[in-house]
Amino acid sequence: MIRLSEIPTTPPTELDKDVIHDATKQLRKRLAKLQHLMYAERKYSLLVILQGMDASGKDGATRDVFGACSPSGIHVKSFKKPTEEEFAHDFLWRIHKNVPHKGMIQVFNRSHYEDVLIQRVHGWITEEHAQKRIQSINAFEELLQYDNDTIILKFYLHISREKQQEELQERLDEEDKHWKHNPRDWEEAKHWDEYMRCYEEAINQSTIPWHIVPVDKRWYRDYCIAKVTVEALEKLPMELPVLEE
Protein backbone atom coordinates (compact mmCIF):
# COMPACT_ATOMS: atom_id res chain seq x y z
CA MET A 1 0.00 0.00 0.00
CA ILE A 2 1.58 3.19 -1.24
CA ARG A 3 1.33 6.47 0.70
CA LEU A 4 2.64 9.25 -1.50
CA SER A 5 3.26 11.55 1.46
CA GLU A 6 5.76 9.04 2.82
CA ILE A 7 7.78 8.86 -0.39
CA PRO A 8 10.47 11.50 -0.99
CA THR A 9 10.26 13.71 -4.07
CA THR A 10 14.03 14.24 -4.08
CA PRO A 11 16.91 11.85 -4.90
CA PRO A 12 18.77 9.91 -2.18
CA THR A 13 21.39 12.36 -0.83
CA GLU A 14 24.34 10.07 -1.53
CA LEU A 15 23.83 10.31 -5.29
CA ASP A 16 26.08 12.51 -7.37
CA LYS A 17 24.37 14.49 -10.13
CA ASP A 18 27.16 14.13 -12.67
CA VAL A 19 27.54 10.41 -12.15
CA ILE A 20 23.81 9.89 -12.55
CA HIS A 21 23.74 12.12 -15.59
CA ASP A 22 26.38 9.99 -17.28
CA ALA A 23 24.53 6.82 -16.36
CA THR A 24 21.38 8.22 -17.95
CA LYS A 25 23.28 8.94 -21.16
CA GLN A 26 24.33 5.30 -21.32
CA LEU A 27 20.79 4.15 -20.61
CA ARG A 28 19.45 6.33 -23.45
CA LYS A 29 21.83 4.62 -25.86
CA ARG A 30 20.85 1.15 -24.68
CA LEU A 31 17.21 2.13 -24.96
CA ALA A 32 17.67 3.19 -28.59
CA LYS A 33 19.23 -0.20 -29.37
CA LEU A 34 16.45 -2.10 -27.63
CA GLN A 35 13.88 -0.07 -29.48
CA HIS A 36 15.50 -0.93 -32.78
CA LEU A 37 15.40 -4.62 -31.88
CA MET A 38 11.74 -4.43 -30.88
CA TYR A 39 10.91 -2.57 -34.08
CA ALA A 40 12.70 -5.10 -36.24
CA GLU A 41 11.18 -8.14 -34.56
CA ARG A 42 7.59 -6.80 -34.35
CA LYS A 43 6.62 -9.23 -31.62
CA TYR A 44 6.45 -7.05 -28.51
CA SER A 45 5.36 -3.49 -27.95
CA LEU A 46 5.82 -1.04 -25.09
CA LEU A 47 3.29 1.31 -23.57
CA VAL A 48 4.72 3.97 -21.27
CA ILE A 49 2.19 5.86 -19.18
CA LEU A 50 3.33 9.17 -17.68
CA GLN A 51 1.08 10.67 -15.04
CA GLY A 52 1.70 13.46 -12.58
CA MET A 53 0.52 16.84 -11.42
CA ASP A 54 0.94 19.88 -13.67
CA ALA A 55 4.60 20.83 -14.05
CA SER A 56 5.80 17.42 -12.87
CA GLY A 57 7.83 17.14 -16.06
CA LYS A 58 6.01 14.73 -18.35
CA ASP A 59 7.11 16.53 -21.50
CA GLY A 60 10.67 16.82 -20.30
CA ALA A 61 10.86 13.16 -19.36
CA THR A 62 9.58 12.18 -22.80
CA ARG A 63 12.27 14.27 -24.49
CA ASP A 64 15.13 13.33 -22.16
CA VAL A 65 14.48 9.60 -21.88
CA PHE A 66 13.17 8.69 -25.33
CA GLY A 67 14.92 11.35 -27.40
CA ALA A 68 17.51 8.92 -28.76
CA CYS A 69 14.89 6.51 -30.12
CA SER A 70 14.17 6.59 -33.84
CA PRO A 71 10.91 8.45 -34.44
CA SER A 72 9.86 5.59 -36.76
CA GLY A 73 9.48 3.33 -33.78
CA ILE A 74 7.91 5.63 -31.23
CA HIS A 75 4.69 7.59 -30.95
CA VAL A 76 3.80 10.08 -28.25
CA LYS A 77 0.19 10.85 -27.54
CA SER A 78 -0.84 13.66 -25.20
CA PHE A 79 -4.36 13.31 -23.91
CA LYS A 80 -6.07 16.66 -23.42
CA LYS A 81 -9.67 17.46 -22.69
CA PRO A 82 -11.78 14.98 -24.71
CA THR A 83 -13.29 16.21 -27.97
CA GLU A 84 -17.04 16.13 -28.52
CA GLU A 85 -16.68 12.88 -30.45
CA GLU A 86 -14.59 11.35 -27.66
CA PHE A 87 -17.13 12.38 -25.05
CA ALA A 88 -19.80 10.54 -27.04
CA HIS A 89 -17.98 7.27 -26.31
CA ASP A 90 -16.79 5.39 -23.24
CA PHE A 91 -13.63 6.78 -21.62
CA LEU A 92 -11.36 4.03 -22.95
CA TRP A 93 -12.43 4.50 -26.59
CA ARG A 94 -9.86 7.17 -27.43
CA ILE A 95 -7.22 5.37 -25.38
CA HIS A 96 -7.66 2.00 -27.07
CA LYS A 97 -7.28 3.58 -30.52
CA ASN A 98 -3.81 4.72 -29.48
CA VAL A 99 -2.29 1.58 -27.98
CA PRO A 100 0.94 0.45 -29.62
CA HIS A 101 1.22 -1.62 -32.77
CA LYS A 102 3.52 -4.62 -32.37
CA GLY A 103 7.13 -3.42 -32.52
CA MET A 104 6.31 0.12 -31.39
CA ILE A 105 6.86 2.23 -28.28
CA GLN A 106 3.87 4.36 -27.37
CA VAL A 107 4.19 7.08 -24.76
CA PHE A 108 1.04 8.40 -23.14
CA ASN A 109 1.44 11.91 -21.74
CA ARG A 110 -1.53 11.69 -19.41
CA SER A 111 -3.88 8.78 -20.06
CA HIS A 112 -7.07 6.97 -19.08
CA TYR A 113 -6.05 7.66 -15.49
CA GLU A 114 -7.26 11.25 -15.90
CA ASP A 115 -10.75 9.77 -15.99
CA VAL A 116 -10.38 8.61 -12.40
CA LEU A 117 -8.45 11.72 -11.34
CA ILE A 118 -9.63 15.11 -12.58
CA GLN A 119 -13.17 13.79 -13.10
CA ARG A 120 -13.24 12.42 -9.60
CA VAL A 121 -11.61 15.41 -7.91
CA HIS A 122 -14.28 17.67 -9.37
CA GLY A 123 -17.11 15.25 -8.66
CA TRP A 124 -18.03 14.92 -12.34
CA ILE A 125 -18.48 11.20 -11.77
CA THR A 126 -19.75 9.35 -8.72
CA GLU A 127 -17.40 7.36 -6.51
CA GLU A 128 -19.16 4.19 -7.65
CA HIS A 129 -18.55 5.13 -11.26
CA ALA A 130 -14.89 5.79 -10.49
CA GLN A 131 -14.58 2.32 -8.92
CA LYS A 132 -16.07 0.71 -12.03
CA ARG A 133 -13.63 2.62 -14.19
CA ILE A 134 -10.69 1.40 -12.13
CA GLN A 135 -11.87 -2.18 -12.71
CA SER A 136 -12.26 -1.49 -16.43
CA ILE A 137 -8.74 -0.07 -16.56
CA ASN A 138 -7.32 -3.21 -14.97
CA ALA A 139 -9.18 -5.46 -17.42
CA PHE A 140 -8.08 -3.28 -20.34
CA GLU A 141 -4.41 -3.27 -19.38
CA GLU A 142 -4.45 -7.03 -18.83
CA LEU A 143 -5.88 -7.47 -22.32
CA LEU A 144 -3.02 -5.54 -23.90
CA GLN A 145 -0.54 -7.71 -22.05
CA TYR A 146 -1.86 -11.21 -22.71
CA ASP A 147 -3.36 -10.64 -26.14
CA ASN A 148 -0.73 -8.45 -27.80
CA ASP A 149 2.48 -8.94 -25.78
CA THR A 150 2.46 -5.29 -24.77
CA ILE A 151 4.73 -4.32 -21.90
CA ILE A 152 3.09 -1.62 -19.78
CA LEU A 153 5.22 0.70 -17.66
CA LYS A 154 3.41 3.23 -15.51
CA PHE A 155 5.24 6.16 -13.97
CA TYR A 156 3.85 8.52 -11.40
CA LEU A 157 5.96 11.69 -11.54
CA HIS A 158 6.14 12.56 -7.87
CA ILE A 159 6.65 16.31 -7.38
CA SER A 160 6.45 18.28 -4.14
CA ARG A 161 3.89 21.00 -3.77
CA GLU A 162 6.65 23.59 -3.32
CA LYS A 163 8.49 22.52 -6.46
CA GLN A 164 5.25 22.68 -8.43
CA GLN A 165 4.61 26.25 -7.30
CA GLU A 166 8.16 27.18 -8.32
CA GLU A 167 7.74 25.65 -11.75
CA LEU A 168 4.40 27.29 -12.37
CA GLN A 169 5.87 30.64 -11.30
CA GLU A 170 8.76 30.20 -13.75
CA ARG A 171 6.26 29.86 -16.55
CA LEU A 172 5.11 33.37 -15.70
CA ASP A 173 8.54 34.84 -15.06
CA GLU A 174 10.59 33.45 -17.94
CA GLU A 175 9.65 34.50 -21.40
CA ASP A 176 10.64 31.25 -23.11
CA LYS A 177 8.31 29.34 -20.77
CA HIS A 178 5.29 31.59 -21.28
CA TRP A 179 3.80 29.15 -23.79
CA LYS A 180 3.44 26.62 -21.01
CA HIS A 181 1.51 28.98 -18.76
CA ASN A 182 -2.13 28.10 -18.21
CA PRO A 183 -4.06 29.96 -15.51
CA ARG A 184 -6.15 26.85 -14.86
CA ASP A 185 -3.07 25.02 -13.59
CA TRP A 186 -3.10 27.35 -10.58
CA GLU A 187 -6.74 26.52 -9.97
CA GLU A 188 -6.12 22.78 -10.20
CA ALA A 189 -3.16 23.08 -7.82
CA LYS A 190 -5.56 24.16 -5.07
CA HIS A 191 -7.07 20.66 -5.16
CA TRP A 192 -3.70 19.13 -4.23
CA ASP A 193 -4.84 16.95 -1.32
CA GLU A 194 -7.79 15.57 -3.24
CA TYR A 195 -5.55 14.75 -6.21
CA MET A 196 -3.16 12.94 -3.88
CA ARG A 197 -6.03 10.86 -2.49
CA CYS A 198 -7.26 9.93 -5.97
CA TYR A 199 -3.75 9.15 -7.22
CA GLU A 200 -3.11 6.93 -4.22
CA GLU A 201 -6.32 5.01 -4.81
CA ALA A 202 -5.67 4.60 -8.51
CA ILE A 203 -2.12 3.44 -7.82
CA ASN A 204 -3.06 1.08 -5.01
CA GLN A 205 -5.93 -0.52 -6.92
CA SER A 206 -3.91 -1.07 -10.05
CA THR A 207 -3.07 -4.65 -11.07
CA ILE A 208 0.09 -3.57 -12.89
CA PRO A 209 2.34 -1.87 -10.35
CA TRP A 210 3.28 1.80 -10.69
CA HIS A 211 6.75 3.27 -10.47
CA ILE A 212 6.85 6.29 -8.18
CA VAL A 213 9.50 8.64 -9.56
CA PRO A 214 10.88 11.49 -7.43
CA VAL A 215 10.99 14.38 -9.90
CA ASP A 216 12.03 17.47 -7.95
CA LYS A 217 15.44 16.99 -9.54
CA ARG A 218 15.05 16.42 -13.29
CA TRP A 219 18.32 14.47 -13.58
CA TYR A 220 17.05 11.86 -11.16
CA ARG A 221 13.65 11.69 -12.85
CA ASP A 222 15.25 10.89 -16.20
CA TYR A 223 17.56 8.31 -14.69
CA CYS A 224 14.76 6.43 -12.91
CA ILE A 225 12.49 6.24 -15.95
CA ALA A 226 15.32 5.26 -18.29
CA LYS A 227 16.55 2.58 -15.90
CA VAL A 228 13.15 0.95 -15.39
CA THR A 229 12.47 1.03 -19.12
CA VAL A 230 15.79 -0.46 -20.16
CA GLU A 231 15.57 -3.19 -17.54
CA ALA A 232 12.05 -4.12 -18.63
CA LEU A 233 13.04 -4.39 -22.29
CA GLU A 234 16.21 -6.32 -21.50
CA LYS A 235 14.12 -9.01 -19.86
CA LEU A 236 12.35 -9.73 -23.15
CA PRO A 237 13.71 -12.59 -25.27
CA MET A 238 13.99 -10.38 -28.35
CA GLU A 239 15.97 -11.39 -31.41
CA LEU A 240 16.60 -9.87 -34.81
CA PRO A 241 14.70 -11.91 -37.39
CA VAL A 242 16.93 -14.15 -39.48
CA LEU A 243 16.62 -14.71 -43.20
CA GLU A 244 14.56 -17.72 -44.09
CA GLU A 245 16.01 -20.05 -46.70
Q: 69 vs 74, 91, 129, 169, 231, CA distance in Å?
A: 7, 30, 38, 32, 16
| CB closer to a second copy out of 99 and 107 | 99
Name the minimum Å distance from CB 97 to a second copy.
6
92 binds a second copy, rule: CB under 8 A: yes
Q: Which stretch binds a second copy (CB under 8 A): 47-55, 89-97, 161-169, 179-187?
A: 89-97
Whole-number Å distance between alpha carbons of 169 and 180: 11
What does residue 226 show for φ and ψ, rounded to 5 degrees?
-65, -40
Q: Among 41, 56, 70, which residue's Cα sits nearest to residue 168?
A: 56
Q: Which stretch binds a second copy (CB under 8 A): 31-39, 61-69, 84-92, 213-221?
A: 84-92
Q: Among 240, 245, 38, which residue's Cα sits nearest to residue 149?
A: 38
Q: Among 69, 86, 81, which residue's Cα sits nearest to residue 31?
A: 69
127 binds a second copy, rule: CB under 8 A: no
Site map (CB under 8 A) of a second copy, residues 20-59, x = contact: ----------------------x-----------------
Binds a second copy (CB under 8 A): choice among 52, 57, 73, 103 = 103
Name the minimum Å distance from CB 129 to a second copy.
7
Name the minimum Å distance from CB 66 to a second copy.
21
Q: Among 34, 1, 5, 17, which residue's Cα sits nearest to residue 221?
A: 17
Q: Which stretch binds a second copy (CB under 8 A): 55-63, 86-94, 207-215, 225-233?
A: 86-94
Whole-number Å distance between alpha carbons of 64 and 229: 13
CA angle at 68 for the pair 230 and 59, rounded to the nearest 5°? 85
User: 142: helix, coil or strand?
Assistant: helix
Binds a second copy (CB under 8 A): choice among 72, 139, 218, 239 = 139
**Interface of this chain with a second copy, residues 52 to 81, rule: CB under 8 A:** none
140 binds a second copy, rule: CB under 8 A: yes
Q: 192 vs 53, 59, 111, 150, 169, CA distance in Å?
A: 9, 21, 19, 33, 17
89 binds a second copy, rule: CB under 8 A: yes
| CB closer to a second copy out of 17 and 96 | 96
207 binds a second copy, rule: CB under 8 A: no
Binding residues for a second copy (CB under 8 A): 42, 85, 88-93, 96-97, 99, 101-103, 129, 132-133, 135-136, 139-140, 142-144, 146-148, 150
